[in-house]
Homo-oligomer: A and B are copies of this chain.
Amino acid sequence: MNTFGNLLKITSFGESHGKAIGVVIDGVPAGLKIDEGFIFEELTKRKPGQSKITTQRNEADEPIIVSGVFENKTIGAPITILISNNDSKTKDYKSIKDIYRPSHADFTYQKKYEIRDYRGGGRSSARITAGWVAAGAIAKLFLKNFNIEVKAYTKQVYNIVLKTPYTQLNLSVSDKNNIKCPDEKIANEMENAIEEARKNGDSLGGIISCIVENCPAGLGEPVFDKLNAQIAKAVFSINAVKAIQFGDGFNIVNFKGSQINDEFIMKNNKIRTLSNHSGGIQGGISNGETIYFETAFKPVSTIFKPQKTLKTNNETVIFKPEGRHDPCVLPRAVPIVEAMTALVIADFVLLSKTNKM
């Protein structure tokens, strides 16, 4: 159950404090040019220790390509990428060995497996998403050949909301600040809010928006692998995600059909829709408009205030963690959302080659 995808498949492995984490990417067509620098750049976007508002764990997060690439090109063989765990301070975690941290996966893993690697959350750690970002980088390289671009950004942190719709934003701005929000002023407010939460030993959640530009019509498979269904599954794989909505999302219920149907029109000799309430997907298949969705991340479960919880022997305990943690995952989650989305789109591009005689 650690494999995701149909033709383009990733297999994730590794624990927070094991030797390494990594990913096997299978199904990448042969002959794709691999730019290792680009993979490293993508990993840098989710790397810990980037700024004062992220965890101070110090990892180089250098991707080691173990297989599948020969003379800078894919050869049709599975691509394995390893990322070492160097700065894994195991001693930090002895104190949580016998504790079920509130809203963490300690308890559920213990119930499921009756054994767990408690160090840094073990397999349930978000550290393993570094492998997904590496895989997503390869998916992005693949998608570039089709001119398809996946771009996510931080839309909301706690009560600070970027209200401007994506159509009116210059998304490249989000690459220039720690928050990955395409509005410098709001990014600044968000950063302050996170910094304040950090000082108070508290944590914040928020919303990430993601768009896919130039996605051709016809991607997505009826009826159980609808494009939105598969993106939803991909995004819910990411730690702390609690919700997702496409196009108008939950808000669409406040309108009548006559208000939110997307009328077909001709534009530059192509069939397009006048509005995009559907978020680029109709009947589970892309319609050629911009794909648009939002996803909510809960506040980080690790807070530095004392909390009541249970020990594994059922005793009540007051718990206050040590170690290093992000007070808000949003900035580092942006590249993960992009990666998982890019993997889904690339998979459907491959599948679409087999739909018609």
User: Could you say which of B70, B263, B314, B350 contacts A307, with CB atoms under 8 Å apart?
Assistant: B263
Closest B-chain residue to A271, C-beta based?
Answer: B310
Contact residues in B for A262 (Cβ distance below 8 Å): 102-103
Report whether B77 and A355 are in contact in the complex, using a CB–CB cutoff of 8 Å.
no
Number of interface residues of A (CB under 8 A): 148
Q: Is A336 an interface residue (CB 8 A)?
A: no
Q: How far is the CA of A109 from the CA of B226 in the complex (A)?
A: 12
Residues of chain A in range 338-357 having any CB-CB distance to chain B below 8 Å: 350-357
Report whether B19 and A67 are in contact in the complex, using a CB–CB cutoff of 8 Å.
yes
Contact residues in B for A115 (Cβ distance below 8 Å): 30-31, 70, 73, 75-76
Report whether A9 and B3 are in contact in the complex, using a CB–CB cutoff of 8 Å.
yes
Report whether B282 and A108 are in contact in the complex, using a CB–CB cutoff of 8 Å.
yes
Contact residues in B for A228 (Cβ distance below 8 Å): 236, 241
Contact residues in B for A173 (Cβ distance below 8 Å): none
Contact residues in B for A156 (Cβ distance below 8 Å): 253
Q: Is A4 an interface residue (CB 8 A)?
A: yes
Report whether A283 and B221 are in contact in the complex, using a CB–CB cutoff of 8 Å.
no
Q: How far is the CA of A66 from the CA of B296 in the complex (A)?
A: 32
Chain A residues at the B interface, C-beta cutoff of 8 Å: 1-4, 6-7, 9, 11-15, 18-22, 24, 26-27, 29-32, 64-68, 70, 73, 75-80, 82, 100, 102-105, 107-109, 111-117, 122-124, 128, 145, 156-159, 197, 202-207, 217-226, 228-230, 232-234, 236-237, 239, 241-250, 252-266, 271, 273, 277-279, 282-288, 296-303, 305, 307-310, 314, 316, 350-357
